[in-house]
Amino acid sequence: MKATVYTGLACIWCERVKTLLKDNNYEIEEIMVNKKILEKLQTKYDTTIRTVPQVVIDNVLVGGFQETEKLMVGAASINKV
């Protein structure tokens, strides 16, 4: 399984989401966000993006850490961050 993680500099949540994905056997492609990449991502998914990380799995924009965690562990999440 593969996931693309759009990240920023010194982003703790980016590191956490990468760990979460690795723990769930995902191969990760990491892309550092810049203005051009952000514009392409927003156009492709027809949404406004204001935070990183942003995770894409199977060409579907999942969202940030919380959305990815919910996808991985469902409603039973103990993290609640």
Q: What is the DSSP letter of 28?
A: E
pLDDT value at residue 2: 96
**Strand, helix or coil at 27?**
strand
Confidence of residue 33 (pLDDT cuts 50, 70, 90): very high
| Contacts of 4 by beta carbon, 8 Å cutoff, 6+ apart | 28, 29, 30, 31, 55, 56, 57
Which residues, in sequence order, are bridge partners of residue 27?
Answer: 2
Confidence of residue 72 (pLDDT cuts 50, 70, 90): confident
| Contacts of 40 by beta carbon, 8 Å cutoff, 6+ apart | none
Confidence of residue 81 (pLDDT cuts 50, 70, 90): very low
Domain 2-76, architecture per CATH: 3-Layer(aba) Sandwich (3.40)
d(CA 13, CA 64): 8
The reported pTM is 0.87
Domain segments of the chain as ranges:
2-76
